[in-house]
Structures are given as structure tokens and as C-alpha cells.
Amino acid sequence: MGGATLLKETGPREVFCGLTSIVWLHRRMPDAFFLVVGSRTCAHLIQSAAGVMIFAEPRFGTAILEERDLAGLADAHDELDRVVKDLLARRPEIRTLFLVGSCPSEVIKIDLARVAERLNSVLKGRVNVLNYSGSGIETTFTQGEDGALKALVPLMPATKEEQLLLVGTLANAVEDRLTNLFKRLGINKVASLPPRESIDLPAIGPGTKVLLAQPYLSDTARVLKDRGAEIIKAPFPLGAEGSRLWMEAAARAFKVEESLVQSILEPLTIRAHKALEPYKKQLAGKRLFLLPESQLEIPLARFLHRECGMELVEVGTPYLNRELMQPELALLPQNTLVIEGQHVEKQLDRVREKQPDLVVCGMGLANPLEAEGISTKWSIELVFSPIHGIDQAADLAELFSRPLHRRNLLNNKTLAHV
Ligand code: SF4
């Protein structure tokens, strides 16, 4: 497939779980609440990932499963009903309640789908109760978003109207800019999933053409297809080239005149290439190793190689959906090593052996690698940053040049003291 060599690896993993995605989902849909059914560990994870919210009452929480629940001594269902009742009485503005499964709730086999069904019949449409899994046993952190969006799909009304549906959380400002560009291309009906309000769900049907903004939404793409939508095949909108190809693919799907497309996208591309220049100078020739965590690794590798001149040592990805990723794989250089899955110890041995200039990895691995003198970039930062679109290409490159710059400063400082 393309120029890449695809291999699989299994073994111990070192990734954040799907609960982490609550941090960006709750910001996107302020009328939704995410109730994790989990342990104190789960509560600590989202509290520390999201930071303490001082000015707003948080839109997520944890129904703590105590030892008695875990030992099967108490009825966790009763307890959960009580927590939900209290929460909804206190927070009448909640319109959608996501019950989010965790490792502990899966281990004791709480059937959250059944709980959601029961609560929905009691609440009679006042609040929609949905469920998905964020458990670390089966998800990495971006898959939490895939689960949440998939859970929303059955609530989307049906339509036959022709429309473009952008799927995957984007920063609001980026979404506005992209929607505006599509409108200039003559694609006037553009909707988004997730929407900005959880009850403002877009309609879906045979006239819907889906453009995935994020590469980790395999399950959501599948259920959207089941509702009659067509998935537009394209690379993902990271970097000037990827974003342009992404927009061009949508324009082709809507039969937009080629000359109009080029007249709108060419000036943006020229501007982006100019803005990329200083970062390209810092990144070109540097060796990059991506450990699997976010599923953004393949589009990032494509951008950092083709537009910033980095050499790809290894590209890890937790999962590989070959169909969705085919346009990306086709753009990788010949013989790029793409490894699906993880055996963290073997992978770290390869990092030490190859001594790359930069490693993209999870927070848990970054500190030990930094201590060994290897520069790192946290993959989680990429989902919190507005990096999509032609205009954002330089900002994306800057995220990778920053740790190299820092390492240079440190090295120079050390030399000055020798
Ligand atoms: S869901 Fe599992 S991996 Fe995630 S915080 Fe809870 S116990 Fe840890």
C-alpha cells in the first residue's frame, strides 16, 4: 500500500485511555455532561487532564465504584440511578448525559447500555442518556471521541438533502474558517458532528457526504455509512498539502469547478508555504520516531516528511484502518516503516538504538526519554491545539520545532559550562 511497509506488533502498551477525550468533548458541547462510571483513579485522570475548573461547574464527573461495588456486595445499578437523579436535579441545563464506561465498570460488567435505556424511559426525552466505553482495556485516548460520536448517530434525524458533514472535533475558530472556505467554493450546506450543542444534531441520509476531520473515527464512519452517507476519500487536513487535498476531494464530490477551487486554494497554499519556511529550516533532515497513541501519527508523518523535510525512522499507530488511511499511506515515502500496535519495551529499545532527533509519544514516556537526552513531543498536545487547515500548517510545524529548539538551547548552555 503506497510506499509504506506495514507491520504489526503486540505486547504491553503505554497509552492514555479513552476517558481523556472528555476533556475536549465537554468543551465542544457545553449542554452535555460526561459521567464516568469508574474508580478514583479514573476521577484523578480526568481531573488532572482537564485541570481544575474554577469559574464553571465542570461538565464531567465520576460515579465512583467503591470496593463494595467491585466485590459485588452492593448493587451498582441502584447507586448509579441515585447519582444520575441527584445530578439532573442539580443541573437542569444538561441535555445529553453520556455514561462513560471504564476499566472497573467493564470488569464488574455493568451493562451501561441497559442503564441508559432504563434512564431514558424514566426521563422521557427531557435528557438523552447515551453510553460508550472509555476503558483503557480497549481504547486509546482519541477512541473516546469515536465512541461518543458513534453513540450520537442514532439520534441524528434523517434527510435526503445534499450536504457536507464535517466529522470530528475541530476548534470552533478553525471550523468557522473551513466552513467559510467551503461556502466560497459554493458548498453552502455544511454541518458538523459533534455540533456545538449536543441537541443540535445534524440530519443524515443518502445526500450526505462525510469529510472526516480526524483520522481516529472508524466506528463513527461505519455507522454514518449505515445511515446512507458517503465517506469522501481524502488525506486528513493536517499541513498545507493534506488540507488542500482534503478540500479538493470535497470540491470534487460536489462537482465544484476546478478553476474556482484552484483560485481559492492556491493563494492560501502559497501563504502557508511561506509561513512554513523558518520551521522547515529547523526540521529538515531531522530524524523522527512516532510512537503509537493518537492515530494522528500517519498524517503527521506525511506532513513532517513532505512539507518539513524530516526523515521518518518509524511511524507507530495504535490501529490502522487501511481503507480510511489509504490516501495517507500512498503519500508516505518508499519503505516507510509503519507499525500497528505496540510492544512498548521493544519500541523503546528501537528508539535507543536509532537515536532519533525527536520522538512523538505519550506523556508517560516523554520524561524518561528526555532524561536520556532524547527530545520529545507529547502526542496529546496535538488534540488540544488548533492544527487543522492550510492556514494552520506553520503552527503545526512550530509545535515540532519547539522541543528541538529547546534541546539546542540546553546543549549550548551545557557546552558553555564545560
Ligand atoms: S478507565 Fe481504566 S485506564 Fe482509564 S483511568 Fe480508569 S482505570 Fe485507568
Query: What one-character-per-residue DSSP string does 68-86 give?
Result: HHHTT-S-HHHHHHHHHHH
> Are 376 and 44 contacting, i.e. CB atoms less than 8 angstroms apart?
no
Q: ∠144-366-105 over CA atoms, to 5°?
A: 30
CA nearest neighbour of 104 among 129, 71, 79: 71
Q: Whose CA is nearest to atom 6 of ligand 1?
A: 42
Q: Which atom of ligand 1 is nearest the CA belonging to 103?
A: 2
Distance from Cα 171 to the centre of ligand 1, integer Å: 26
Q: Is the CB of 21 under 6 A from ligand 1?
A: no
Question: Across the strands, what pairs with 361?
Answer: 378
**Residue in 69, 70, 103 to alter for ligand 1 test, most ligand atoms within 8 A of Cβ:** 103
Q: Whose CA is nearest to atom 8 of ligand 1?
A: 42
Sheet containing 230-231, strands listed edge to edge, beginning at the edge strand earlier in sequence: 190-193, 163-167, 208-212, 230-231
> Are 87 and 33 contacting, i.e. CB atoms less than 8 angstroms apart?
yes
CA nearest neighbour of 297 among 276, 274, 320, 275: 320
C-alpha cell at 4: 509504506
Buried b (16+ CB within 10 A) or exposed e, 53-89: eeeeeebbbbbbbeeebeeeeeebeebbeebbeebbe
Report helix, strand or coil for 307: coil
Q: Is the CB of 47 under 6 A from ligand 1?
A: no
pLDDT digit string (tens) for the chain, length 418 residues: 557 899 999 998 888 899 989 989 998 999 999 999 998 888 888 877 766 444 445 787 787 776 666 666 567 788 888 889 999 999 999 999 999 999 988 888 889 999 999 999 999 889 999 999 999 887 888 999 999 999 999 999 999 999 999 999 999 999 999 999 999 999 999 999 999 999 999 999 999 999 999 999 999 999 999 999 999 999 999 999 999 999 999 999 999 999 999 999 999 999 999 999 999 999 999 999 999 999 999 999 999 999 999 999 999 999 999 999 999 999 999 999 999 999 999 999 999 999 999 999 988 899 999 999 999 999 888 888 899 999 999 999 999 999 988 887 877 766 666 5
β 4-9/336-341 pair status: parallel
Q: Is the CB of 133 under 6 A from ligand 1?
A: no
